[in-house]
Chains A and B, each alone.
Chain A
Amino acid sequence: MNLLSKNRWSPYLAGALLGVLSWFAFLTAGVPLGVSSTFVRTAGMIESTVAPDHVRDNAYFAATKVKLDWEWMIAAGILIGAYLSSKLSKEPKGDEVPQLWASRFGPSRGRRMLGAFLGGLVLIFGARLAGGCTSGHGLSGSMQLAVSGWAFFACIFASGVATATLLYRGGKS
């Protein structure tokens, strides 16, 4: 069995490799894996093409430092790596509107796209308030046994489980 073309890897295998990848990040970059501040930097880059002065004067963009850095390349790499994995696995293309979503909100494509846009907007807002996302806090913070990482993990689970139960309860399983 060729591992590269196997559609799914065991989560334990993928998780162990992700752990080893974290060692590599610590050793070579001196910082752990993280994703969410890249969105702020990219937003700053986009905004500075139309309003450079406004971005320069903004306290948050100044603190986050709008720059092309190691972490920005992580996000670019995720795009390439996931694309390679997707091509090598030859998995069937999924539904455009996920079945679980459709069972609750109907098959409308527009409604799913609007939901995803608003979800993303609120998601990054939460991540920046917390100072990290599932990668920076949930993974990298928790593995360093940071209190902030475990608090983040516990809180996203509590509110995620509550929200999913309220939204999709009674949806087709």
Chain B
Amino acid sequence: MIGIEAPGRLLLGLITGIVFGFLLHRSGVSKYATITGQFLLRDFTMMKMMMTAIIVGGAGAYAMHGLGWVDLTIKPMLMGGVIVGALVFGVAMAVLGYCPGTAVAACAEGRKDALMGVAGMLAGSMVYAEMFPWLKATVLSWPDKGKITLPETIGAPWWVFFLVLAAAAWLLFSWLGRKGLDEGVKG
């Protein structure tokens, strides 16, 4: 009853996941203190890592898309789902201290609280599946703006966004470094 994809594709997923998990752990973002420190604006490790990944990954993805090598997969802008979902997600992430991916990584280094977080996520998935018909009739029925991107919405080429993002990130992180505002928090 449960479908299984082709073995080659599963192996590719596993290899990609192993590198992903290694980077999540080694950068420190799989730590409770790194995530809560980011939300307390005292540790910018998470923001530095994500911004770098977005700029490097995104410039490459758009370049490869331009060459016709890859398709982009844009998620729809659901005014209810994305906004309400993300606001709820942020509250829970500040309490848990992990996101879904880093919770799995933290389990691997033996964090029992991350294991409880994963158990909570499995329970939450079951609750969500039961509540889905009601959510579909309410929050998820709010306007869907479709699979829109910033270049389409603002009318500027993609590389402008990555240049602006890189400049803004460089200014912010060097200013924080000079002011000594990202020294982090303990455990």
B118: Cβ under 8 A from any A Cβ: yes
B5 touches A68 (CB 8 A): yes
Do residues A119 and B95 form an inter-chain contact, with CB atoms below 8 A?
Answer: yes
Q: Which residues of B contact A2 (CB under 8 A)?
A: none
The prevalent SS among residues of A at the interface is helix
Contact digits for A27-51, partner B, Cβ 8 Å, 1 yes 0 no:
1111111011011101111111000
Partner of A98, one of B14, B97, B116, B119: B97
Q: How large is the interface on B (under 10, 10 to 19, 20 to 34, 35 or more residues)?
A: 35 or more
Say yes or no: B112 contacts A14, CB within 8 Å.
no
State the Cβ distance, A44 to closest chain B Cβ, in Å.
7
> A-B pairs with CB below 8 Å: how many?
509
Does residue B168 face the partner (Cβ distance < 8 Å to A)? Answer: no
When the two chains form their complex, are residues B129 and A67 in contact, meaning their CB atoms are under 8 A apart? no
Per-residue 0/1 for B1-36: is the Cβ within 8 Å of any A Cβ (1 yes, 0 no)? 111110001111111111111111111111111001
Are B132 and A58 in contact (CB-based, < 8 A)?
Answer: yes
Q: Given A80-B108, A122-B91: A113 and B113 within 8 A (CB)?
A: yes
Contacts of A65 in B (CB 8 A): 3
Contact indicator B187/A134 (Cβ below 8 Å):
no
CA distance A128 to B130 in the complex (A): 13
Looking across the interface, which residue of chain A has its beta carbon closest to that of B140? A129
Docked-complex contact B97 and A101, CB < 8 angstroms: yes
CA distance A18 to B85 in the complex (A): 25
Chain A residues closer than 8 Å to B5, beta-carbon distance: 67-70
Contact (Cβ within 8 A) B87 A158: yes
Annotate B141-154 by CB proximity to A: 1 below 8 A, 0 otherwise.
Answer: 00001011111010
Beta-carbon contact of A151 and B61 below 8 Å: no
List chain A residues, Cβ under 8 A from B136: 59
Is B55 part of the contact surface with A, judged by Cβ < 8 Å?
yes
Are A78 and B54 closer than 8 Å at their CB atoms? Answer: no
Q: Which residues of B contact A14 (CB under 8 A)?
A: 23, 26-27, 49, 52
Is B48 a contact of A15 with CB atoms below 8 Å? yes
Chain A residues whose CB sits within 8 angstroms of the CB of B97 once the complex forms: 98, 101, 116, 119
Given contact pairs A59-B136, A117-B120, A163-B95, enumerate 9 new A-B contacts (beta carbons under 8 Å).
A11-B44, A38-B100, A43-B123, A80-B108, A100-B32, A125-B88, A146-B77, A148-B82, A164-B36
